[in-house]
Amino acid sequence: MRYYSTRSRANPANFAAAALTGLAPDGGLFVPEEIPRYSPAVRSSLGTMNFHDIAIETIKPYVDPEIPGAVLGDMIHSAYPFTAPLVEAGGRLVLELFHGPTAAFKDFGARFMARAFSYLRRNEERPLHILVATSGDTGGAVADGFFGIEGISVTVLYPKGRVSPLQERQIAGLGGNISALAVEGSFDDCQALVKVAFADADLQKRHVLSSANSINISRLIPQTVYYAAAAGRAMTGRADPDGEATPRNPVKPGVLGGFSWQAGPLTVCVPSGNFGNLTAGLYAMSMGAPIRGFIAATNINKTVPDYLATGDYQVRPSQATISNAMDVGAPSNFERMAAHWSYPELRRMIQGVPVTDDETRAVIRAVHERWGYYLDPHGAVGWKAVDKEEKPENQTGGPLAVLATAHPAKFAETVEPLTGPVPVPASLKKVMEREPHALTIPADITALKDVL
Ligand SMILES: *Cc1c(COP(=O)(O)O)cnc(C)c1O
Protein backbone atom coordinates (compact mmCIF):
# COMPACT_ATOMS: atom_id res chain seq x y z
CA MET A 1 0.00 0.00 0.00
CA ARG A 2 1.21 3.49 -0.79
CA TYR A 3 0.42 6.44 1.45
CA TYR A 4 0.07 10.09 0.49
CA SER A 5 0.06 13.24 2.53
CA THR A 6 -3.38 14.83 2.90
CA ARG A 7 -1.75 17.98 1.49
CA SER A 8 -0.05 16.72 -1.65
CA ARG A 9 0.18 13.61 -3.81
CA ALA A 10 3.81 14.31 -4.65
CA ASN A 11 5.86 11.93 -2.47
CA PRO A 12 4.18 8.63 -1.69
CA ALA A 13 5.53 6.63 1.26
CA ASN A 14 5.22 2.94 2.06
CA PHE A 15 3.63 1.77 5.33
CA ALA A 16 6.99 1.60 7.11
CA ALA A 17 7.89 5.20 6.30
CA ALA A 18 4.38 6.50 7.00
CA ALA A 19 4.28 4.78 10.39
CA LEU A 20 7.81 5.59 11.53
CA THR A 21 7.69 9.28 10.55
CA GLY A 22 4.12 9.89 11.77
CA LEU A 23 3.52 13.22 10.13
CA ALA A 24 4.23 13.79 6.41
CA PRO A 25 7.14 16.16 5.67
CA ASP A 26 4.70 18.86 4.44
CA GLY A 27 2.82 18.75 7.76
CA GLY A 28 -0.08 16.69 6.38
CA LEU A 29 -1.37 13.33 7.64
CA PHE A 30 -0.68 10.09 5.80
CA VAL A 31 -3.68 8.48 4.09
CA PRO A 32 -3.74 5.24 2.08
CA GLU A 33 -3.78 5.70 -1.69
CA GLU A 34 -7.06 3.80 -1.73
CA ILE A 35 -9.12 2.10 0.94
CA PRO A 36 -8.94 -1.66 0.27
CA ARG A 37 -12.09 -3.82 0.15
CA TYR A 38 -12.80 -7.11 1.88
CA SER A 39 -13.20 -10.03 -0.51
CA PRO A 40 -16.84 -11.24 -0.78
CA ALA A 41 -15.83 -14.41 1.09
CA VAL A 42 -14.40 -12.47 4.04
CA ARG A 43 -17.24 -9.97 4.03
CA SER A 44 -19.86 -12.70 4.35
CA SER A 45 -17.88 -14.45 7.14
CA LEU A 46 -17.29 -11.45 9.41
CA GLY A 47 -20.07 -12.65 11.72
CA THR A 48 -18.43 -16.02 12.37
CA MET A 49 -14.68 -15.33 12.12
CA ASN A 50 -12.75 -14.80 15.33
CA PHE A 51 -11.27 -11.44 16.28
CA HIS A 52 -7.69 -12.35 15.34
CA ASP A 53 -8.65 -13.57 11.87
CA ILE A 54 -10.71 -10.43 11.23
CA ALA A 55 -7.71 -8.38 12.37
CA ILE A 56 -5.40 -10.18 9.93
CA GLU A 57 -7.81 -9.76 6.98
CA THR A 58 -8.38 -6.11 7.84
CA ILE A 59 -4.80 -4.98 8.44
CA LYS A 60 -2.99 -7.10 5.80
CA PRO A 61 -3.62 -4.89 2.72
CA TYR A 62 -2.50 -1.76 4.59
CA VAL A 63 0.90 -3.15 5.62
CA ASP A 64 1.68 -5.19 2.52
CA PRO A 65 4.47 -5.94 1.61
CA GLU A 66 6.58 -4.57 4.48
CA ILE A 67 4.95 -6.82 7.07
CA PRO A 68 4.52 -10.38 5.74
CA GLY A 69 1.37 -12.32 6.61
CA ALA A 70 2.99 -14.74 9.08
CA VAL A 71 4.67 -11.88 10.96
CA LEU A 72 1.40 -9.97 11.04
CA GLY A 73 -0.35 -12.98 12.52
CA ASP A 74 2.18 -13.19 15.35
CA MET A 75 1.91 -9.46 16.01
CA ILE A 76 -1.86 -9.65 16.28
CA HIS A 77 -1.79 -12.63 18.62
CA SER A 78 0.65 -10.93 20.94
CA ALA A 79 -1.03 -7.49 20.75
CA TYR A 80 -4.55 -8.72 21.48
CA PRO A 81 -4.94 -11.19 24.33
CA PHE A 82 -8.26 -9.32 24.80
CA THR A 83 -11.07 -8.55 22.36
CA ALA A 84 -13.95 -6.12 21.94
CA PRO A 85 -17.15 -7.87 23.02
CA LEU A 86 -20.48 -6.66 21.64
CA VAL A 87 -22.80 -6.96 24.62
CA GLU A 88 -26.46 -6.31 25.31
CA ALA A 89 -26.86 -3.79 28.10
CA GLY A 90 -29.70 -1.53 29.06
CA GLY A 91 -31.84 -2.46 26.06
CA ARG A 92 -29.04 -1.50 23.75
CA LEU A 93 -25.92 -2.93 22.10
CA VAL A 94 -22.64 -1.74 23.57
CA LEU A 95 -19.26 -2.42 21.99
CA GLU A 96 -16.92 -2.57 24.97
CA LEU A 97 -13.47 -1.33 23.99
CA PHE A 98 -12.01 -1.22 27.51
CA HIS A 99 -10.83 -4.78 28.09
CA GLY A 100 -7.18 -4.01 27.31
CA PRO A 101 -4.46 -3.39 29.93
CA THR A 102 -5.05 0.37 30.30
CA ALA A 103 -8.86 0.04 30.11
CA ALA A 104 -9.43 2.39 27.16
CA PHE A 105 -9.74 1.78 23.42
CA LYS A 106 -6.34 3.36 22.78
CA ASP A 107 -4.82 -0.02 23.72
CA PHE A 108 -5.94 -1.39 20.32
CA GLY A 109 -3.91 1.19 18.42
CA ALA A 110 -0.92 1.53 20.74
CA ARG A 111 -0.22 -2.19 21.14
CA PHE A 112 -0.22 -2.77 17.38
CA MET A 113 1.90 0.32 16.74
CA ALA A 114 4.55 -0.84 19.23
CA ARG A 115 4.91 -4.24 17.57
CA ALA A 116 4.90 -2.74 14.07
CA PHE A 117 7.66 -0.25 15.02
CA SER A 118 9.75 -2.98 16.58
CA TYR A 119 9.51 -5.21 13.48
CA LEU A 120 10.04 -2.42 10.96
CA ARG A 121 13.22 -1.35 12.77
CA ARG A 122 14.60 -4.86 13.32
CA ASN A 123 17.77 -4.19 11.29
CA GLU A 124 18.51 -0.76 12.73
CA GLU A 125 21.47 -0.39 15.04
CA ARG A 126 20.50 2.84 16.76
CA PRO A 127 17.69 2.69 19.28
CA LEU A 128 14.49 4.62 18.54
CA HIS A 129 13.38 7.20 21.04
CA ILE A 130 9.67 8.04 21.22
CA LEU A 131 8.50 11.29 22.73
CA VAL A 132 4.84 11.63 23.59
CA ALA A 133 2.85 14.34 25.36
CA THR A 134 -0.33 13.26 27.11
CA SER A 135 -3.27 14.69 28.98
CA GLY A 136 -3.85 11.23 30.47
CA ASP A 137 -5.10 8.30 28.38
CA THR A 138 -2.65 8.32 25.47
CA GLY A 139 0.43 8.23 27.71
CA GLY A 140 -0.77 5.15 29.56
CA ALA A 141 -1.65 3.23 26.40
CA VAL A 142 1.64 4.12 24.69
CA ALA A 143 3.69 3.29 27.81
CA ASP A 144 1.99 -0.08 28.15
CA GLY A 145 2.21 -0.81 24.42
CA PHE A 146 5.97 -0.20 24.22
CA PHE A 147 6.92 -1.59 27.65
CA GLY A 148 9.66 -4.19 27.21
CA ILE A 149 9.90 -3.73 23.42
CA GLU A 150 13.56 -4.04 22.44
CA GLY A 151 15.39 -1.23 20.67
CA ILE A 152 12.77 1.36 21.57
CA SER A 153 12.59 3.68 24.55
CA VAL A 154 9.73 6.02 25.38
CA THR A 155 9.54 9.32 27.26
CA VAL A 156 6.06 10.43 28.28
CA LEU A 157 5.52 14.08 29.22
CA TYR A 158 2.47 14.80 31.34
CA PRO A 159 1.24 17.89 33.20
CA LYS A 160 2.31 17.51 36.85
CA GLY A 161 -0.65 17.18 39.20
CA ARG A 162 -3.21 17.24 36.39
CA VAL A 163 -3.62 13.54 35.65
CA SER A 164 -5.48 11.12 37.92
CA PRO A 165 -3.51 8.92 40.36
CA LEU A 166 -4.43 5.91 38.24
CA GLN A 167 -3.25 7.56 35.03
CA GLU A 168 -0.01 8.64 36.72
CA ARG A 169 0.71 5.04 37.73
CA GLN A 170 -0.06 3.82 34.20
CA ILE A 171 2.47 6.33 32.83
CA ALA A 172 5.14 6.43 35.53
CA GLY A 173 4.81 3.04 37.23
CA LEU A 174 6.39 0.79 34.61
CA GLY A 175 10.06 1.83 34.56
CA GLY A 176 12.39 -0.13 32.27
CA ASN A 177 12.36 1.41 28.80
CA ILE A 178 9.56 3.83 29.77
CA SER A 179 10.53 7.19 31.35
CA ALA A 180 8.03 9.65 32.72
CA LEU A 181 8.49 13.40 33.01
CA ALA A 182 6.09 15.42 35.15
CA VAL A 183 6.16 18.84 33.53
CA GLU A 184 5.42 21.91 35.63
CA GLY A 185 2.79 23.25 33.29
CA SER A 186 -0.28 22.34 31.26
CA PHE A 187 -0.89 19.70 28.61
CA ASP A 188 -0.38 22.41 25.99
CA ASP A 189 3.07 23.10 27.49
CA CYS A 190 3.93 19.39 27.22
CA GLN A 191 2.82 19.32 23.61
CA ALA A 192 4.78 22.48 22.79
CA LEU A 193 7.92 20.98 24.40
CA VAL A 194 7.63 17.85 22.25
CA LYS A 195 7.24 19.99 19.14
CA VAL A 196 10.33 22.05 19.99
CA ALA A 197 12.30 18.87 20.69
CA PHE A 198 11.46 17.48 17.24
CA ALA A 199 12.67 20.69 15.59
CA ASP A 200 15.92 20.75 17.60
CA ALA A 201 18.89 19.96 15.33
CA ASP A 202 21.10 19.00 18.25
CA LEU A 203 18.62 16.44 19.61
CA GLN A 204 18.00 15.10 16.10
CA LYS A 205 21.73 14.40 15.79
CA ARG A 206 21.93 12.59 19.12
CA HIS A 207 18.74 10.52 18.90
CA VAL A 208 16.47 8.85 16.38
CA LEU A 209 13.24 10.50 17.49
CA SER A 210 9.68 9.53 16.66
CA SER A 211 6.23 10.35 17.96
CA ALA A 212 3.33 8.12 18.90
CA ASN A 213 0.42 10.50 18.83
CA SER A 214 -3.00 9.66 17.49
CA ILE A 215 -2.43 10.97 13.97
CA ASN A 216 -0.05 8.05 13.36
CA ILE A 217 -1.59 5.80 10.69
CA SER A 218 -0.34 2.67 12.48
CA ARG A 219 -2.57 3.49 15.45
CA LEU A 220 -5.60 4.18 13.29
CA ILE A 221 -5.68 1.08 11.09
CA PRO A 222 -6.01 -1.51 13.89
CA GLN A 223 -9.01 0.39 15.26
CA THR A 224 -10.86 -0.56 12.06
CA VAL A 225 -10.92 -4.18 13.22
CA TYR A 226 -13.48 -3.93 16.01
CA TYR A 227 -15.95 -2.10 13.79
CA ALA A 228 -15.81 -4.92 11.24
CA ALA A 229 -16.11 -7.56 13.96
CA ALA A 230 -19.11 -5.85 15.59
CA ALA A 231 -20.86 -5.22 12.26
CA GLY A 232 -20.37 -8.88 11.36
CA ARG A 233 -21.96 -9.93 14.67
CA ALA A 234 -24.86 -7.55 14.18
CA MET A 235 -25.62 -9.20 10.82
CA THR A 236 -26.05 -12.51 12.61
CA GLY A 237 -28.60 -11.02 15.03
CA ARG A 238 -26.67 -12.19 18.09
CA ALA A 239 -24.39 -10.30 20.42
CA ASP A 240 -20.99 -11.76 21.14
CA PRO A 241 -21.59 -15.15 22.77
CA ASP A 242 -18.43 -14.69 24.87
CA GLY A 243 -19.22 -11.10 25.68
CA GLU A 244 -20.57 -10.76 29.15
CA ALA A 245 -21.82 -7.29 29.88
CA THR A 246 -19.23 -6.01 32.31
CA PRO A 247 -19.02 -4.17 34.58
CA ARG A 248 -22.50 -5.05 35.69
CA ASN A 249 -24.32 -4.72 38.90
CA PRO A 250 -24.38 -8.13 40.53
CA VAL A 251 -27.56 -7.12 42.35
CA LYS A 252 -29.54 -6.93 39.15
CA PRO A 253 -28.62 -9.98 37.12
CA GLY A 254 -30.57 -10.57 33.97
CA VAL A 255 -31.61 -6.97 33.41
CA LEU A 256 -28.82 -6.40 30.98
CA GLY A 257 -29.43 -8.80 28.15
CA GLY A 258 -32.29 -10.63 26.67
CA PHE A 259 -33.96 -7.92 24.61
CA SER A 260 -34.76 -8.60 21.00
CA TRP A 261 -33.27 -6.78 18.10
CA GLN A 262 -33.21 -7.28 14.39
CA ALA A 263 -30.18 -8.38 12.44
CA GLY A 264 -28.93 -5.94 9.83
CA PRO A 265 -26.31 -3.33 8.99
CA LEU A 266 -25.07 -1.64 12.13
CA THR A 267 -25.29 2.02 13.10
CA VAL A 268 -22.39 2.93 15.42
CA CYS A 269 -22.32 5.79 17.89
CA VAL A 270 -18.71 6.98 18.43
CA PRO A 271 -17.76 9.28 21.34
CA SER A 272 -15.24 11.53 19.58
CA GLY A 273 -12.46 14.01 20.30
CA ASN A 274 -9.66 13.93 17.73
CA PHE A 275 -11.88 11.79 15.46
CA GLY A 276 -9.31 9.03 14.95
CA ASN A 277 -11.75 6.41 16.16
CA LEU A 278 -14.53 7.63 13.88
CA THR A 279 -12.14 7.77 10.91
CA ALA A 280 -11.26 4.12 11.58
CA GLY A 281 -15.00 3.36 11.49
CA LEU A 282 -15.34 5.09 8.12
CA TYR A 283 -12.47 2.93 6.84
CA ALA A 284 -14.30 -0.21 8.01
CA MET A 285 -17.49 0.92 6.24
CA SER A 286 -15.56 1.70 3.03
CA MET A 287 -13.87 -1.70 3.19
CA GLY A 288 -17.33 -3.26 2.97
CA ALA A 289 -18.16 -4.06 6.61
CA PRO A 290 -21.98 -4.00 6.94
CA ILE A 291 -22.28 -0.57 8.56
CA ARG A 292 -25.24 1.73 7.93
CA GLY A 293 -23.70 4.89 9.32
CA PHE A 294 -22.40 6.70 12.39
CA ILE A 295 -23.46 9.03 15.13
CA ALA A 296 -20.52 11.27 16.06
CA ALA A 297 -21.08 12.09 19.73
CA THR A 298 -19.08 14.98 21.18
CA ASN A 299 -19.13 16.97 24.39
CA ILE A 300 -19.52 20.75 24.06
CA ASN A 301 -16.38 20.80 21.92
CA LYS A 302 -18.64 20.44 18.90
CA THR A 303 -16.53 21.61 15.96
CA VAL A 304 -17.49 18.61 13.82
CA PRO A 305 -21.24 18.47 14.64
CA ASP A 306 -21.40 22.18 13.75
CA TYR A 307 -19.54 21.52 10.52
CA LEU A 308 -21.95 18.71 9.60
CA ALA A 309 -24.91 20.99 10.32
CA THR A 310 -23.62 24.04 8.43
CA GLY A 311 -20.79 23.02 6.06
CA ASP A 312 -18.56 25.56 7.78
CA TYR A 313 -15.44 24.16 9.54
CA GLN A 314 -14.37 26.44 12.40
CA VAL A 315 -11.73 25.24 14.85
CA ARG A 316 -11.80 26.81 18.31
CA PRO A 317 -10.01 26.57 21.66
CA SER A 318 -10.96 23.47 23.63
CA GLN A 319 -13.20 23.70 26.69
CA ALA A 320 -12.76 21.49 29.76
CA THR A 321 -15.46 18.85 30.39
CA ILE A 322 -15.89 15.64 32.43
CA SER A 323 -15.24 13.59 29.26
CA ASN A 324 -11.78 15.13 29.09
CA ALA A 325 -10.23 12.74 26.56
CA MET A 326 -12.63 14.39 24.09
CA ASP A 327 -11.81 18.03 24.91
CA VAL A 328 -10.61 18.89 21.44
CA GLY A 329 -11.52 22.05 19.55
CA ALA A 330 -9.36 21.32 16.49
CA PRO A 331 -9.74 17.56 15.80
CA SER A 332 -6.52 16.43 14.12
CA ASN A 333 -8.09 13.62 12.12
CA PHE A 334 -10.61 15.90 10.45
CA GLU A 335 -7.98 16.57 7.79
CA ARG A 336 -7.93 12.86 7.02
CA MET A 337 -11.73 12.60 6.80
CA ALA A 338 -11.88 15.60 4.47
CA ALA A 339 -9.14 14.12 2.26
CA HIS A 340 -11.17 10.94 1.66
CA TRP A 341 -14.74 12.21 1.56
CA SER A 342 -16.67 15.30 0.43
CA TYR A 343 -19.01 17.25 2.69
CA PRO A 344 -22.16 15.65 1.17
CA GLU A 345 -20.61 12.19 1.59
CA LEU A 346 -19.69 12.85 5.23
CA ARG A 347 -23.20 14.15 5.89
CA ARG A 348 -24.72 11.03 4.43
CA MET A 349 -22.59 8.79 6.67
CA ILE A 350 -22.46 10.77 9.95
CA GLN A 351 -24.94 12.48 12.28
CA GLY A 352 -23.20 14.87 14.68
CA VAL A 353 -24.67 15.16 18.20
CA PRO A 354 -23.17 17.32 20.99
CA VAL A 355 -23.88 16.50 24.66
CA THR A 356 -23.42 18.67 27.78
CA ASP A 357 -21.80 17.65 31.09
CA ASP A 358 -25.18 17.84 32.85
CA GLU A 359 -26.69 15.46 30.31
CA THR A 360 -23.68 13.16 30.68
CA ARG A 361 -23.99 12.99 34.48
CA ALA A 362 -27.75 12.42 34.27
CA VAL A 363 -27.35 9.52 31.88
CA ILE A 364 -24.61 7.84 33.98
CA ARG A 365 -26.98 7.98 36.96
CA ALA A 366 -30.09 6.90 35.04
CA VAL A 367 -28.53 3.96 33.19
CA HIS A 368 -27.05 2.64 36.42
CA GLU A 369 -30.33 3.08 38.32
CA ARG A 370 -32.48 1.46 35.68
CA TRP A 371 -30.18 -1.25 34.31
CA GLY A 372 -27.28 -1.66 36.73
CA TYR A 373 -24.80 -0.85 33.95
CA TYR A 374 -21.89 1.50 34.60
CA LEU A 375 -20.96 3.98 31.89
CA ASP A 376 -17.78 6.02 31.90
CA PRO A 377 -18.19 9.74 31.02
CA HIS A 378 -17.08 9.17 27.40
CA GLY A 379 -19.36 6.22 26.74
CA ALA A 380 -22.14 8.17 28.48
CA VAL A 381 -21.78 10.97 25.92
CA GLY A 382 -22.35 8.33 23.25
CA TRP A 383 -25.35 6.86 25.09
CA LYS A 384 -26.97 10.28 25.44
CA ALA A 385 -26.31 11.14 21.79
CA VAL A 386 -28.30 8.06 20.79
CA ASP A 387 -31.18 9.16 23.05
CA LYS A 388 -31.16 12.55 21.34
CA GLU A 389 -30.75 11.26 17.79
CA GLU A 390 -33.05 8.26 17.78
CA LYS A 391 -36.30 10.19 17.90
CA PRO A 392 -39.11 8.41 16.08
CA GLU A 393 -38.73 10.72 13.06
CA ASN A 394 -35.09 9.86 12.44
CA GLN A 395 -35.07 6.21 13.47
CA THR A 396 -32.47 4.48 11.39
CA GLY A 397 -33.96 1.03 11.88
CA GLY A 398 -31.62 -1.92 12.31
CA PRO A 399 -29.19 -2.54 15.14
CA LEU A 400 -27.31 0.27 16.85
CA ALA A 401 -24.21 0.01 19.04
CA VAL A 402 -22.66 2.58 21.35
CA LEU A 403 -18.89 2.43 21.76
CA ALA A 404 -17.83 2.27 25.41
CA THR A 405 -14.35 3.78 25.00
CA ALA A 406 -13.12 3.49 28.61
CA HIS A 407 -13.83 1.46 31.73
CA PRO A 408 -15.87 3.47 34.27
CA ALA A 409 -13.37 2.63 37.05
CA LYS A 410 -10.84 4.74 35.17
CA PHE A 411 -12.98 7.78 35.87
CA ALA A 412 -14.23 6.75 39.30
CA GLU A 413 -13.98 10.31 40.69
CA THR A 414 -16.74 11.36 38.25
CA VAL A 415 -18.78 8.16 38.11
CA GLU A 416 -18.92 7.01 41.75
CA PRO A 417 -20.74 10.07 43.13
CA LEU A 418 -23.52 9.19 40.64
CA THR A 419 -23.60 5.39 41.00
CA GLY A 420 -21.81 4.32 44.17
CA PRO A 421 -18.65 2.17 44.07
CA VAL A 422 -17.66 0.90 40.62
CA PRO A 423 -16.23 -2.65 40.36
CA VAL A 424 -12.53 -2.37 39.49
CA PRO A 425 -11.07 -4.81 36.94
CA ALA A 426 -7.98 -6.80 37.93
CA SER A 427 -5.74 -4.95 35.45
CA LEU A 428 -6.46 -1.59 37.07
CA LYS A 429 -6.06 -2.99 40.60
CA LYS A 430 -2.54 -4.09 39.66
CA VAL A 431 -1.73 -0.64 38.31
CA MET A 432 -2.73 1.00 41.59
CA GLU A 433 -0.13 -1.13 43.41
CA ARG A 434 2.70 0.37 41.36
CA GLU A 435 4.88 3.21 42.62
CA PRO A 436 5.03 6.13 40.20
CA HIS A 437 8.61 7.25 39.42
CA ALA A 438 8.63 10.48 37.46
CA LEU A 439 11.22 13.19 37.15
CA THR A 440 9.80 16.68 37.59
CA ILE A 441 11.03 19.27 35.08
CA PRO A 442 10.09 22.87 34.32
CA ALA A 443 8.31 23.49 31.00
CA ASP A 444 11.58 24.37 29.35
CA ILE A 445 13.44 22.85 26.40
CA THR A 446 16.88 23.05 28.06
CA ALA A 447 15.56 20.99 30.96
CA LEU A 448 14.10 18.41 28.57
CA LYS A 449 17.35 18.23 26.58
CA ASP A 450 19.38 17.70 29.76
CA VAL A 451 17.19 14.77 30.73
CA LEU A 452 17.23 13.16 27.30
C1 LIG B 1 -9.08 9.27 23.19
C2 LIG B 1 -10.43 8.97 23.74
C3 LIG B 1 -11.62 9.33 23.05
C4 LIG B 1 -11.60 10.11 21.75
O5 LIG B 1 -11.15 9.36 20.65
P6 LIG B 1 -10.72 10.10 19.31
O7 LIG B 1 -10.16 9.03 18.44
O8 LIG B 1 -9.69 11.12 19.70
O9 LIG B 1 -11.94 10.74 18.74
C10 LIG B 1 -12.84 8.93 23.58
N11 LIG B 1 -12.91 8.27 24.75
C12 LIG B 1 -11.79 7.93 25.45
C13 LIG B 1 -11.95 7.21 26.73
C14 LIG B 1 -10.52 8.26 24.98
O15 LIG B 1 -9.42 7.92 25.68
Pocket lining: 303 vs ligand 1, CB cutoff 6 Å: no
For the chain, give the percent of residues with pLDDT over 70. 94
Tell me: pLDDT of 256 over 70.
no
Burial 67-95 (b: 16+ CB within 10 A, else e): beeeebbebbeebbebbbbbbbbbebbbb
Give residue 102 CA to ligand 1 midpoint distance, Å. 13
- Tell me the mean pLDDT in the region 134-139: 85
pLDDT at residue number 152: 94
Pocket lining: 378 vs ligand 1, CB cutoff 6 Å: yes
- For residue 21, give Cα distances in angstroms to 61, 120, 313, 343, 409: 20, 12, 28, 29, 34
Give residue 379 CA to ligand 1 midpoint distance, Å. 10
Pocket lining: 276 vs ligand 1, CB cutoff 6 Å: yes
pLDDT at residue number 198: 83
pTM: 0.93
For the chain, give the percent of residues with pLDDT over 90. 71
Beta carbons of 229 and 84 less than 8 angstroms apart: yes
Q: What is the 3-state secondary structure (H, E, C) of the chain?
A: CCEEECCEEEEEECHHHHHHHCECCCCCEEEECCCCCCCHHHHHHCCCCCHHHHHHHHHHHHHCCCCCHHHHHHHHHHHCCCCCCEEEECCEEEEECCCCCCCECHHHHHHHHHHHHHHHCCCCCCCEEEEEECCCHHHHHHHHHHCCCCCEEEEEEEECCCCCHHHHHHHHCCCCCEEEEEEECCHHHHHHHHHHHHHCHHHHHHCEEEECCCCCHHHHHHHHHHHHHHHHHHHHCCCCCCCCCCCECCCCCCCCCCCCCCCCCEEEEEECCCCHHHHHHHHHHHHCCCEEEEEEEECCCCHHHHHHHHCCCCCCCCCCCCCHHHCCCCCCCHHHHHHHCCHHHHHHHEEEEECCHHHHHHHHHHHHHHHCECCCHHHHHHHHHHHHHCCHHHCCCCCEEEEECECHHHHHHHHHHHHCCCCCCHHHHHHHCCCCCCEEEECCHHHHHHHC
| pLDDT, averaged across the chain | 90
Instruction: Report the DSSP beta bridge partners of residue 352.
Output: 296
pLDDT at residue number 392: 56
pLDDT at residue number 255: 43
pLDDT at residue number 252: 38
Q: If pLDDT is split at 50, 70 and 90, which confidence band does 242 have?
A: low
Give residue 405 CA to ligand 1 midpoint distance, Å. 7
Beta carbons of 262 and 353 less than 8 angstroms apart: no
Tell me: pLDDT of 142 over 90.
yes
Q: Exposed (0-12), middle (13-18) or buried (19+): which is 64, by Cβ within 10 Å? A: middle
State the Cα–Cα distance between residues 211 and 297, nearest whole angstrom: 27
Pocket lining: 277 vs ligand 1, CB cutoff 6 Å: yes
93-102, 257-266, 393-402, range with greatest mean pLDDT = 93-102
- For residue 79, give Cα distances in angstroms to 69, 144, 227, 243: 15, 11, 17, 19
Q: If pLDDT is split at 50, 70 and 90, which confidence band does 265 have?
A: very high
Pocket lining: 326 vs ligand 1, CB cutoff 6 Å: yes
Pocket lining: 403 vs ligand 1, CB cutoff 6 Å: no
Beta carbons of 236 and 53 less than 8 angstroms apart: no
pLDDT at residue number 253: 37
Ligand 1 test: best mutation among 274, 350, 384, most atoms within 8 Å of CB?
274
Atom of ligand 1 nearest to the CA of 223: 7
Pocket lining: 140 vs ligand 1, CB cutoff 6 Å: no
194-203, 233-242, 253-262, 436-445, range with greatest mean pLDDT = 436-445
Tell me: pLDDT of 248 over 80.
no
List, for residues 13-62, the tens digit of each pLDDT value: 999 999 998 888 888 999 999 999 999 999 999 988 999 999 999 999 99
pLDDT at residue number 247: 40
Q: What is the CATH number assigned to the segment(s) 81-103+218-425?
A: 3.40.50.1100
Pocket lining: 272 vs ligand 1, CB cutoff 6 Å: yes
Q: Exposed (0-12), middle (13-18) or buried (19+): which is 378, by Cβ within 10 Å? A: buried
Phi, psi of 301 (to 5 degrees): -80, 85
Domain boundaries along the sequence of the chain: 81-103+218-425
Lowest mean pLDDT among 171-175, 198-202, 351-355: 198-202
Give residue 411 CA to ligand 1 midpoint distance, Å. 13
Pocket lining: 137 vs ligand 1, CB cutoff 6 Å: yes
* CA Rg value for the chain: 21
Atom of ligand 1 nearest to the CA of 272: 9
CA atoms 189, 193, 195, 199: torsion sign: positive
Tell me: pLDDT of 3 over 70.
yes
